[in-house]
Amino acid sequence: MRQNNMVAMILAGGRGSRLHALTKKIAKPAVYYGGKYRIIDFPLSNCANSGIDNVGVLTQYESTLLNSYVSAGGRWGLDAKDSGVYVLPPREKEDADLGAYRGTADAISQNIDFVDTFNPEYVLILSGDHIYKMNYAKMLSHHKACDADATIAVLPVPMEEASRFGIMNTDESERIIEFEEKPEHPKSNLASMGIYIFNWKLLRKMLQADMDNPESSHDFGKDIIPKMLAEGKRLYAYKFQGYWKDVGTIDSLWEANMDLLSKNNELDLADQSWKIYTEDVATMPHYLGKDAQIVRSCVNQGCYINGKVEGSVLFTNVKVAKNAQVNDSVIMPDVEIGEGAVINRAIVAQGVKIDPGAVVGDPKSEHIELISKRVR
């Protein structure tokens, strides 16, 4: 398919420091989710499924793994002649020294030349750390129908939680008249999802001005959007219905995994019309031994389970030995759980060994325990 006239740019520099050991060596977009995915598979698959052929991924924090992961664009089918996934870490330029991206807007500003090579009419700005399924082509149609300068995807949130988000106040035609970052007394419940479509010509001009503005924090939410509103540009809200999650903490990462266990859950990863693509690993199917018991769980290929698994998500190649119990937990790839070990309400990081008989986590704990080292 010839490329449409929109390029996507995924902001993937997030540290995710509240995910502690999980993001010590990898950026948040590369964190595992849902038994076989990494979080960034969601925006990338959404792009592929929406017919967006060229995607820039802006990386910064601990980017080695993330860079190599996304550069294999074939995983998302983005390796045809007219398409590609481009890794864009900060770079030294002829007229500028190597500097970090100073903010979300600056990351795009520093890659104006990259976007220009596609000569797009529109640019889609996405975050690499959100879990959701969305058809950006529909959002673009909405953008065009509104004759907008910019369109911002918004999620209706419960009014009592609205003060935790960036809130868009709109008129009856859904044109945005005001943007408030974490308002104490919210006037609306439409939270910005950090998903923007801009007319490139206009955004390009604004980014150039923003780069040289010493007052600016170079952020879309704090600088670019308020400035556009102040200049009377046409900004529209695009209401999103469906599952959306920003997993900022261990507890919320765990919860998002647990959301998958209920039947007919909103994310519906089994939907054949909107698959989420990821790395293809060559492992056996998963094996359940003679003593295995499994209910309400999600298991990926390569696992060997001979214990009791309940209310849990097991990633690739997890081994659960006889008489071991895994309850309400997320077990990341290559974890080995020894005979008789018990795990409750925990996230066990990749490759960790839980020795036979060890007990990890507490069924009554308020918070989820993160296990990132061998437990003896």
> Which chain residues interact with another protein by CB under 8 A?
34-36, 74, 260-261, 263, 269-270, 275-278, 280, 282-301, 304, 313-314
Of the two residues 27 and 330, which places its CB atom closer to another protein in the complex?
330
Of the two residues 24 and 296, which places its CB atom closer to another protein in the complex?
296
CA neighbor of 319 nearest in space, from 283, 363, 266, 295: 283
Of the two residues 112 and 292, which places its CB atom closer to another protein in the complex?
292
Q: Least distance to another protein from the beta carbon of 273, Å? A: 12
Q: Least distance to another protein from the beta carbon of 44, Å? A: 12
Of the two residues 229 and 269, which places its CB atom closer to another protein in the complex?
269
Phi/psi at 344 (nearest 5 deg)? -125, 140
Instruction: Give me Rg for the CA atoms of the chain.
Output: 22
CA neighbor of 126 nearest in space, from 244, 268, 21, 266: 244
Q: Least distance to another protein from the beta carbon of 276, Å? A: 7
Of the two residues 148 and 303, which places its CB atom closer to another protein in the complex?
303
Contacts of 327 (CB under 8 A, 6+ apart): 310, 311, 312, 342, 343, 344, 345, 363
Of the two residues 156 and 242, which places its CB atom closer to another protein in the complex?
242
Alpha-carbon span 368 to 345, nearest angstrom: 5
Q: Least distance to another protein from the beta carbon of 284, Å? A: 5
Q: Least distance to another protein from the beta carbon of 301, Å? A: 5
Contacts of 1 (CB under 8 A, 6+ apart): 51, 53, 80, 82
Of the two residues 123 and 337, which places its CB atom closer to another protein in the complex?
337
Of the two residues 156 and 289, which places its CB atom closer to another protein in the complex?
289
Alpha-carbon span 128 to 150, nearest angstrom: 20
Q: Angle CA(16)–CA(196)–CA(53) in degrees, nearest 5?
A: 90
Q: Least distance to another protein from the beta carbon of 79, Å? A: 10
Concatenated DSSP letters for 199-236?
EHHHHHHHHHHHHT-TT----IIIIIHHHHHHTT--EE
CA neighbor of 152 nearest in space, from 187, 191, 183: 191
Q: Which residues partner with 145 through β-bridges?
A: none
Q: Least distance to another protein from the beta carbon of 335, Å? A: 15
Q: Least distance to another protein from the beta carbon of 339, Å? A: 15
Q: Least distance to another protein from the beta carbon of 200, Å? A: 31
Alpha-carbon span 124 to 74, nearest angstrom: 21
Alpha-carbon span 170 to 153, nearest angstrom: 12
Strand 190-199 relative to strand 150-156, pairing? antiparallel
Of the two residues 155 and 313, which places its CB atom closer to another protein in the complex?
313
Q: Least distance to another protein from the beta carbon of 281, Å? A: 8
Of the two residues 235 and 313, which places its CB atom closer to another protein in the complex?
313
Q: Angle CA(326)–CA(270)–CA(55) in degrees, nearest 5?
A: 105
CA neighbor of 304 nearest in space, from 321, 324, 291: 321
Number of alpha carbons in the 13 Å side-chain half-sphere of residue 204: 14
